[in-house]
Amino acid sequence: NDLGDISVCGTSESVPLDATFVDNTGAPLPDLFVQIEAKRTPNEFFTVRTNLAGKLFANVYQNSEFTLRVYGSADCATPAYTTTFQTTNQNLSLGTMTVTDLVKATVTGRLVACNNSPVSSGQVILQRDGQSRYFKTDPSGNFSIPLLVCNSNSPQTVSIIGLDQSNLQTGLPVTLSIRSATNDAGAVSTCFDNASAQEFLNC
């Protein structure tokens, strides 16, 4: 399929944008749900997530005014942080922004094998907002996962899947309603269930 000559000459309508988000201790805030809305196209916005270092990268309209809203997750109705910014025709860095109004939670538990013994080499797959994140367990199968939630009162639903790397199998998903502070998932089985639609792919 020959596309012929493609010109790279001319001006771009967008410019690169970056920012770093931290909490009040200076620690990076990964997996933030960031909404960016251009003033010239109200009610039309796109979302970006911060990476593990709390950094955001996006391409936005040049010579435009924007509103940026930060949420703990996609389920949140009220932003924890809001700011505005203006672009020119040059790359824009918003620098480091401190977000103090996020509500933090922790999900704890332990992975067990079919005989209820601890899984010494395991991972936890946590599913939320249509994304899966992987967390390693300690040699005793224990895990502790930090999360951000919308507020202290409204629960949010996550799914947890235990993964036994030594035996190459996963258990059934465990659904958990989490709130602020510590949420104990208890013993999460990695025992394979023939009735489950879950499969394990090793590559």
| Residue 151 scores a pLDDT above 80 | no
Strands 14-22 and 92-98: parallel
The per-residue pLDDT for 136 is 93
Mean per-residue pLDDT, 134-160: 87
Closest CA to 160 of 119, 129, 132, 180: 132
Q: Which of 2-11, 142-151, 185-194 has the lowest mean pLDDT?
A: 2-11
The per-residue pLDDT for 7 is 79
The per-residue pLDDT for 201 is 67
> Distance between CA 92 and CA 128 in Å, rounded?
31
Residue of 198 and 47 predicted with greater confidence: 47
DSSP string, 44-95: -EEEEE--TTSEEEEEEESS-EEEEEEESSTT-SS-SEEEEEE--SS-EEEE
| Torsion sign, CA atoms 72, 78, 83, 86 | positive
Per-residue pLDDT tens digits for 9-58: 766 688 999 999 999 899 999 888 999 999 988 888 889 999 989 999 99
The per-residue pLDDT for 75 is 79
3-class DSSP assignment, residue 193: coil
Contact 156, 75 (CB under 8 A): yes
- pLDDT bin (cut points 50, 70, 90) of residue 195 is low
Mean per-residue pLDDT, 74-79: 84
Mean per-residue pLDDT, 143-155: 82
The per-residue pLDDT for 194 is 67
The per-residue pLDDT for 200 is 62
Q: Which residue is associated with the tokens 């001319």? A: 10
Average pLDDT across the chain, whole number: 88
Tokens at residue 44, please? Answer: 């039309």
Per-residue pLDDT tens digits for 158-191: 999 999 988 888 888 899 988 888 999 999 999 8
| Torsion sign, CA atoms 58, 60, 65, 67 | negative
- pLDDT bin (cut points 50, 70, 90) of residue 86 is very high
